[in-house]
Amino acid sequence: MVVFRSARGVLFWAWTYDEESIATAQKACRSDAFLPCEQVFKYGSGTRQHFPGSEARKRYLAAAWVNGAEGYDGKLYISSGELTYAAAADKAINACQIATDGRECAVIEFAADGVLQAYRSNDEHGVLTETTAARAMKAVRGKCTKARVKCTLQAQFDARRTGQFVHDFTQGGKAGPG
């Protein structure tokens, strides 16, 4: 069995170690990502221990902003280090709504044990998640090259770091816990 991890931390597997099974798992894993998925485990038929250790425990990150152009404040509200996606999403949406006087907010990106990379292209704001900081930067560069736009990398947020954060796209940096 071979296990792959997507940019958002979702696991995909090929039950048998043959080219067709692996290709199918990789295709399902990659979907619309800019980089190939990472192979995280490989178990042979003689392996007796199939359960991963503590390295498989996930921490979730969710990022929310105002839904729609009206009332958008140019900020991203991030909750990270949560034990579930729901907890991260709820905290990110609540932080956004409190900061924007109750505007409708939506989760725009999430990750499990991954890194969120903020960036700007022209006057647009964007985020992308990947499994590591280096892969996140590489994925943004690939996305911007493909779109033929110049992008500026901004702050990164790691799902394994617990806290609530506010990213201001106009400043490019990272504000402290919010």
Specify whether 37 is located in the same domain as 66: no
Provide the domain count of the chain.
Answer: 2
pLDDT at 102: 93
Specify whether 18 is located in the same domain as 77: no
Residue 9 φ then ψ, to 5°: 95, 5
- Which range, of 18-27, 39-48, 82-91, 143-152, averages the lowest pLDDT? 39-48
- Which range, of 52-66, 75-89, 93-107, averages the lowest pLDDT? 52-66
Gap between the Cα atoms of 165 and 143, Å rounded: 25
Q: Are 116 and 94 in contact (CB under 8 A)?
A: no
Whether residue 155 is contained in a domain is answered as yes
Specify whether 77 is located in the same domain as 164: yes
Specify whether 18 is located in the same domain as 103: no
Whether residue 55 is contained in a domain is answered as no
Burial 124-155 (b: 16+ CB within 10 A, else e): ebbbbbbbeeebbbebbeebbeeeeeebeebb
Residue 32 pLDDT grade (very low, low, confident, very high; cuts 50, 70, 90): low
Whether residue 158 is contained in a domain is answered as yes
What is the chain's mean pLDDT, rounded? 87
Specify whether 75 is located in the same domain as 100: yes
Q: Please classify residue 29 by burial: count the beta carbons closer than 10 Å to its beta carbon, then call 0-12 exposed, 13-18 middle and 19+ buried.
A: buried
Sequence-ordered alpha helix ranges (H) in the chain: 19-30, 85-99, 133-147
Q: Is the pLDDT of residue 69 over 90?
A: no
Question: Per 3-state DSSP, what percentage of the chain is helix, strand, and coil (rounded to 5)?
Answer: 25, 35, 40
Between these two residues, 13 and 77, which has the higher pLDDT value?
77
Between these two residues, 111 and 46, which has the higher pLDDT value?
111
pLDDT at 5: 83
Q: Are 170 and 74 in contact (CB under 8 A)?
A: yes
Specify whether 26 is located in the same domain as 80: no
Whether residue 53 is contained in a domain is answered as no
Specify whether 136 is located in the same domain as 71: yes
Specify whether 106 is located in the same domain as 77: yes
Whether residue 138 is contained in a domain is answered as yes
Average pLDDT over residues 170-177: 59
pLDDT at 49: 62
Average pLDDT over residues 62-67: 97
Whether residue 175 is contained in a domain is answered as no
Specify whether 156 is located in the same domain as 82: yes
Whether residue 97 is contained in a domain is answered as yes
Q: Is the pLDDT of residue 57 over 60?
A: yes
Gap between the Cα atoms of 156 and 167, Å rounded: 9
Between these two residues, 176 and 75, which has the higher pLDDT value?
75
Average pLDDT over residues 16-32: 83
Whether residue 52 is contained in a domain is answered as no
Alpha carbon dihedral 37, 173, 145, 125, in 10-degree steps, equals 100
Specify whether 41 is located in the same domain as 65: no
Residue 138 domain boundaries: 60-168
